[in-house]
Structure 1
Amino acid sequence: MKTLDTLPPLSRVIADHDLDARRSLGQNFLLDLNLTGKIARQAGDLTGADILEIGPGPGGLTRGLLAEGARRVLAVEKDRRCLPALKQIADACPGRLEVIEADALQLDPLAHLTPPVKVVANLPYNVGTELLVRWLTPRDWPPFWQSLTLMFQREVAERIVATPGSKAYGRLSLLAQWRSVPRIVLNLPPGAFSPPPKVSSAVVHLQALPAPRFPADHKVLERVVAMAFNQRRKMLRAALKGLCPDIGDRLRAAGIDPTQRAETVTLEQFCALARNVPG
């Protein structure tokens, strides 16, 4: 019986199954198993956790997760061309890898996972941000996941960890930092991928907080932040005038100068404002 150590190199798997990466699916494959193992280790101890992996492709990161001792991996793959390659891995690790052919945006994975759950993925570029926002904005908190360890374009990773006053600071920064502790743990050049993308990439680790940093209704906070940054060059009294007629007074009550712009406002101030505007 095959084991992880006796599986063929990923380059051969891709050739055998004709797995040319497709731009339409946001695919860029990682072929270096030393690198995929390093990414898996950024998620911490995997031995007692179920792992959700989105877009495993030919299974480089999947192998890394299993080799690092993941209790079980649920791999969600939209591209059916990858399924035979993933089956080889499943056969080498009986009972530890379940592969579902599905669009991650349409699938509720909870029925297939047993807590504790960690999400580890080289996310397809075309759905990565949308999936992250969904994972950060459930109605109830704590979420189903303990941590997220995710590959993004470097620009997106910088937005997740950005602080007030920087050009990268925005809606994604606030949503991530309100309910989690995000940090960039690994940078990868284009040459690490096949085919090489036009931009650098980075792995971000987000550890879920037991409760949000500051109290606020998540829907109100999301609406306030979205309005503020949709017109980030405007003063907040203009960008948020659609919230309520007396927005200037409500901004001042939250400790915000109405002439400030969104990129200068802290998370704590946005939460205070969300508590002080109509729901």
Structure 2
Amino acid sequence: MSFREAIEREMAKQRRMQLATDEGRWRARKRFGQHFLEPAWADKVVDAIAPLPDDRFLEIGPGPGILTTRLASRVRELTAIEIDRDLAARLTPSLPPNARMLVADVLSVDLAPMTSDGPLRVAGNLPYYVSSPIIFKLIESARRTRAIPDATVMLQLEVAERLIATVGTADYGVLAILTQLHADVTRVLTLPPGAFRPMPKVRSAVVRLAFRPPAVDIGDQTTFERLVRTIFTQRRKTILNALRPFAEPLGRDPASALARAGIDSRRRPETLDLRELAALAQRLHEA
């Protein structure tokens, strides 16, 4: 073996050792549903987020900081929320001066105080197993504070398709209705399994939720949400039969409520748009 070959072999060995060290340092944990974005895709995702120099950002699930450093370099201020204490401890020393780490479960954090200094945009790589609850958390926070203009998040493609689903389609249901009531939803990027480590078995998507006032007047929020959740557990039944478990315990006649809302009782829940669901909820809420 020549001297040059020996040097090249030693360098290759060191590269393998460094890769093993890095993978151990940033090992994804199944219990947190972690899949880390590969650096090769990071710039595309940041471009999809479209940060502006004066923006304040909340990043959910920074992991090893692949997005964090890139995003922080393009905005005024960034707060990263990480549930994994070990990951947070490793990432924190390398954060730029305009970024800070909050070790917490985003579902347990009140986001309102973070908006006291101005609008707060949101970005993040959401764990697959808890993406829907986080979406609902962001919707409620945006509705309550009126200071969260948008959220651009990575999630499972199947969930993205349910978010953007239109009335009458197989994916149209609770997630689409409760999200589209409060936000304009757009899929801005599709990611292959190879964009993450460890590689998931499914494709992912980057989705933007642009929050706004409700698309329709739903009357009582609780009544509307309970109605939607109830009838879509029986989406293949007629709306009359799907409505009975909700209406009858309230002492309401489902057929009468449907008639007053101008809805044919033979239709199925998945054919009702936001306006019709809002009208039905209001009729059911009336004394």
Asked if Structure 1 and Structure 2 have the same fold, meaning a TM-score greater than 0.5 normalized by the shorter chain, the answer is yes
- Match for 2:102: what amino acid? I
Would you tell me which structure has more helix in proportion to its own residues? 2
| Residue-by-residue CA offset, 1:161-213 (whole Å, 9 max, x unaligned) | 0001111000111111111100100000101100000110001101111x211
- The equivalent residue for 1:102 is 104
Whichever of the two has the greater Rg, that structure is 2
Structure-1 separation of matches of 2:275 and 2:53: 36
Aligned length: 263
Unaligned runs of 5+ in 1: 1-10
Unaligned runs of 5+ in 2: 1-17
Is contact 2:142-2:148 (8 Å) kept?
Answer: no
Q: Percent identity?
A: 36
Any residues of structure 2 matched to 1:1-279 within 5 Å, and which?
A: 15=22, 18-32=25-39, 34-67=40-73, 69-90=74-95, 93-94=96-97, 96-113=98-115, 114-137=117-140, 140-141=143-144, 143-209=146-212, 211-216=213-218, 217-241=220-244, 242-244=246-248, 245-278=252-285
Structure-1 separation of matches of 2:70 and 2:37: 11
Is contact 1:13-1:58 (8 Å) kept?
Answer: no
Is contact 2:112-2:145 (8 Å) kept?
Answer: no
- Match for 1:230: what amino acid? T
Structure-2 separation of matches of 1:53 and 1:103: 12
- Match for 1:154: what amino acid? L
Give, in angstroms, the shift of residue 268 of structure 1.
Answer: 1.1
Q: 1:87 and 1:12, CA in 2 relative to 1: closer, same or farther beyond 3 A?
A: farther
**Which deviates further from its counterpart, 142-151 or 167-176?**
142-151
| Residue-by-residue CA offset, 1:54-85 (whole Å, 9 max, x unaligned) | 11110111122113x11111111111121243
| Residue-by-residue CA offset, 1:29-64 (whole Å, 9 max, x unaligned) | 0122x5222222223343222111111110111122
What TM-score do the two structures reach when normalised by structure 1?
A: 0.87
Structure-2 separation of matches of 1:162 and 1:219: 23
Residue aligned with 1:76, SS: strand
Structure-2 separation of matches of 1:223 and 1:13: 50
Structure-2 separation of matches of 1:265 and 1:108: 33
Q: CA RMSD in A?
A: 2.1
- Match for 1:192: what amino acid? A
Structure-2 separation of matches of 1:275 and 1:137: 21
